[in-house]
Structure 1
Amino acid sequence: MLATALLEAVWRDPAETLGALADEPWAIGFLSGGTDAGWSYVAAAPDATLTLAADDRRDPFAALKEMVGEPTSGAPDGPPFQGGVAGLASYDLGDRVERLGLGRLDDWPDLACGRYPSVLAFDHRRRRSIAVGRGADPAAARRAAETALAWLALPARQAAPPAADLSPDDPAVYEAAVAEVVGRIHAGEIFQANIARRWRGRLAQGAAPADVLANLAARSPAPFASYLRLPGRAVVSNSPERFLRVVPCDGRLTAETQPIKGTAPRGRSEAEDRALAEALAASPKDRAENLMIVDLMRNDLARVCSAGSVRTPELFRLVSFANVHHLVSTVTGLLAPGRTAVDLLQASFPPGSITGAPKVQAMKVISQLEPPRGPFFGAMFQLGFDGMLDSSVLIRTAGFVQEGDRPGATWRVEARAGAGIVADSDPRQERQETESKISAMAAALGAA
């Protein structure tokens, strides 16, 4: 049984706090932004790490269970995440579930995570910061909390303009891929597939991924933004989409997923913006696209939930972000006795909203039309010592690779944006949708 210590402190902006730690290997952050911001988290200095490369044949889900250990409750009045395992599940982790022979991108790991006994939690609604410590006894837990508390005093990062020279893949190639998927749908091979487009470039000398993170937090806050610094690599995500959440309650585990499907750009005037939102909410194409993924996620949850417990309490809710409107639905369930959050992750990975339906065949089509995905369209996750899980879909995401290990080495950057392709998709409109989705990330990268 792990002891828990909570030390309440004055409020500090979580993005600023994360920026101060961002160059530390295994620094990680989950930033809740926007009008409904709830809890944000910043952590560093894990006491254990796990990295699984493509040729490492260990069972990743068994390794996660071993790393987090048997569930042990935290403080009942504490934040939802009170320490545990957190990190990156790349899209290609799905190859460990379905064995499709997926390629790999630039040697990105399938799984990279740390176990964090020290965490800073930020309660946006009450404007308070809480240092959380977990340890074998109360003294060890307090020391871990004091480690987290010290991060609040770190000086703010001196940001540099990213000024990335970002270039997209050929739009004609993307439109041809969309047309091919439409043809496969009409031929009966699949019902839907999410096809992504790629942008690549370099940050300016002296700029780092943390500078992109700071720009996003200031200009375009998202509910499921996240950051992870690995040795020589980093992930910056401005995701609007929750993947899976598991909440311990009265000895049982409740599960939830909130897939996003259906997109429209924001308008240039209030009237145009309202018209675009109303058209999206009423669009038969976008509602059908969303419903396909809802059905897929219901099936995924049903694999590990008690019979009859899977429900869809919300369909096609309109949610507006800085650069797009989306349709969001909610699926819930009650995990069957003996099942854990890791079992749910395995049953549902990769996210249905960025694969398609049927999932396995859509993944095969994607692998034929796209380069390997690596971190893109995977998930960032928190797996708590108490059995909780929260995770995001890695859309609106940039991946960074440092060019060499010398001081001041520049960073290569790649970002992707996809669109759900259905029977009546228009290639040009789908390509334009990817441009709307990438716009906030491109602005944060300082791209022309």
Structure 2
Amino acid sequence: MPSTDRQRHLPLPYRADASITFAAIRHLPAAILLDSGSGTADAGRFDIMAAAPDPDRSASLGPCPDARQVAQFFDRLNAIHRDVACTQAHDTFDLPFRGGLMGYLGYDAGLPLHGLRAPREDASQTALPAGQVGYYRWAIVQDHRHQTSALVADDSVPDAELRDILHRVNRAQQPCAPFELLSTFSSNLQAADYAEAFRAVNGYLHAGDCYQVNLAQRFRAAYRGDPFSAYRALRPLAAAAFAGYLDIDSNRALLCLSPERFISLSGRDVSTQPIKGTRPRSTDPLRDREIARELQGSSKDLAENLMIVDLLRNDLGRNCDTGSIRVESLFALHSYPTVHHLVSTISGRLQQGRTAIDLLRDSFPGGSITGAPKRRSMQIIAELEPDAREAYCGSLFYLCNSGRMDSNITIRTLVARNDTLLCWAGGGLVADSRCSDEYQETFDKVGPFLRSLEAGSQSKVPH
């Protein structure tokens, strides 16, 4: 078998749709897919999928963790990574991941980092862990630029296990079980409730208590069937480079269709790309271009974006060399099938002696989904949002043994748990925000996904 730096590299059939290959392994324990959407640019070039992590090298954080538990969780991740880290910065095959840590951090994992805690009533058996990360000894990595796919594994993986994976991937694919909604989506904030919360935020903003607060509502529907079928149905609507799917257990799953990178690390080069500023797209090309120009010229959206850029510069500065923080681009227009976004890019250089886990922890949760200043905004979110965010506004990430890391912000994200499907949407409120516009923006962001699921189940939804 070909190998490099304690590794084996086995070619596999390339499939532009990663979900086809992932379907072959997803019934193995803790299967995870990091799905780039078949792009060829760096952000959308690779898909990574894996399963059956090492049970002795894992970390899980229960719902409603306290500060001590969160500190122990991140210490555990640092310890696992130190134990498996290799000195070679890249391999012959130029793959971003060839064994290492993968998993997610929920927004609630970040609350104790800022002196807060999730509501106790959310600490139920159905709630997702606040964090779940495993050490994966093998992975399937697809490169859309070169249209290649390979199984990579370290020497601890028995040959029999590799043969089983190859057999699963190469055999004829079985269709996924069906999925259907049993009700339409309902929100935990009706228009009047949202307006009341908006007025409270507006009061804090005009009192100088904060500069921006991200206020979200949560949608809920009953379902039956396989959540992965729902993910596959929604994936074409997203065209997102930071999507992913994770089976937590037989009753719970995470479906993420995120367009937003949180933090990436390659060598010591750090980058983050916050999204602030959103408009729905039009099917009329002329109107669509006009909407994009309006977004790029919106003083409110530009100011909102700039506030988060400043916040993230400070967050990165906690672990980057003094003077290394740079704003590489401001307010770049990124267009997706359903929305236009403004995206900025900030870079830095990781200090010697600091780790990828330190960088992730000290910047978490992402400022684009809290507001500024971060701690005060999170306090206001905890006061006004009626339910915990759980996995929403957290992060899916990988950290390769080589030290390379990439992560997303889990927006455009659904949680399936015990026959209930949850989906959140929010937006940043600033002093000149208008309630009706901000409320509508939450629907612009996830409405196409919710309507698609409802339409697919329309004939079976009770009226």
Give TM-score scaled by structure 1 length.
Answer: 0.91
Instruction: Return closer, same or farther for 1:67/1:446 CA change in 2, 3 Å cut-off.
Output: farther
Aligned to 1:285: 300
Aligned to 2:226: 208
The letter of the residue matching 1:41 is I
Query: Alignment partner for residue 21 of structure 1, among 17, 25, 35?
Result: 25
Identity in percent: 37
Displacement after TM superposition at 1:147 (Å): 5.1
Q: 1:132-155 CA distances to partner (integer Å, 9 max, x unpaired)?
A: 10235xxx4866655543442252
Q: 1:21-60 CA distances to partner (integer Å, 9 max, x unpaired)?
A: 3344311001011654310111111112321113574411
Q: Superposed, which structure 2 residues align to 1:148-297 within 5 Å?
A: 148-154=165-171, 155-163=173-181, 165=183, 166-169=185-188, 170-203=190-223, 205=224, 207-231=225-249, 232-248=251-267, 253-297=268-312
Aligned to 2:405: 389
Number of positions where the alignment pairs a residue of Structure 1 with one of Structure 2: 431
Q: What CA distance in whole angstroms lies between the structure 2 residues aligned with 1:413 and 1:183?
A: 33
Q: What CA distance in whole angstroms lies between the structure 2 residues aligned with 1:174 and 1:21?
A: 42
Contact 1:238 1:395 in 2 (8 A): yes
DSSP-derived class of the 1:152 partner: helix
Contact 1:237 1:397 in 2 (8 A): yes
Instruction: Return closer, same or farther for 1:255/1:427 CA change in 2, 3 Å cut-off.
Output: same
Q: What CA distance in whole angstroms lies between the structure 1 residues aligned with 2:333 and 2:182?
A: 32
The letter of the residue matching 1:45 is A
Displacement after TM superposition at 1:282 (Å): 1.0
Stretch moving more, 94-103 or 237-246: 94-103
Q: What CA distance in whole angstroms lies between the structure 1 residues aligned with 2:452 and 2:258?
A: 14
DSSP-derived class of the 2:361 partner: helix
Structure 1: gaps of 5 or more residues: 403-410
Contact 1:85 1:114 in 2 (8 A): yes
Contact 1:196 1:418 in 2 (8 A): yes
DSSP-derived class of the 2:24 partner: helix
Query: Alignment partner for residue 64 of structure 1, among 56, 77, 91?
Result: 77
Q: Say whether 1:9 aligns with 2:27.
A: no
Q: 1:333-386 CA distances to partner (integer Å, 9 max, x unpaired)?
A: 100000110010111000100000000000000000112111111111111111
Structure 1 vs Structure 2 CA RMSD: 2.0
Q: What CA distance in whole angstroms lies between the structure 2 residues aligned with 1:123 and 1:352?
A: 30
Displacement after TM superposition at 1:322 (Å): 1.2
Q: Superposed, which structure 2 residues align to 1:410-421 within 5 Å?
A: 411-421=419-429
Q: What CA distance in whole angstroms lies between the structure 2 residues aligned with 1:51 and 1:351?
A: 20
Contact 2:65 2:117 in 1 (8 A): no
Give TM-score scaled by structure 2 length.
Answer: 0.88
Aligned to 2:365: 350
Q: Say whether 1:400 aligns with 2:416.
A: yes
Stretch moving more, 154-163 or 181-190: 154-163
Query: Alignment partner for residue 113 of structure 2, among 89, 94, 97?
Result: 97
Q: What CA distance in whole angstroms lies between the structure 1 residues aligned with 2:132 and 2:209?
A: 34
Stretch moving more, 141-150 or 433-442: 141-150
Contact 2:29 2:53 in 1 (8 A): no
Displacement after TM superposition at 1:65 (Å): 1.1
Structure 2: gaps of 5 or more residues: 459-463
Q: What CA distance in whole angstroms lies between the structure 2 residues aligned with 1:208 and 1:374?
A: 21
Aligned to 2:441: 433
The letter of the residue matching 2:45 is G
Contact 1:119 1:148 in 2 (8 A): no
Q: Say whether 1:377 aligns with 2:393.
A: yes
Q: 1:113-145 CA distances to partner (integer Å, 9 max, x unpaired)?
A: 111111000111111111110235xxx486665
Displacement after TM superposition at 1:7 (Å): 1.2
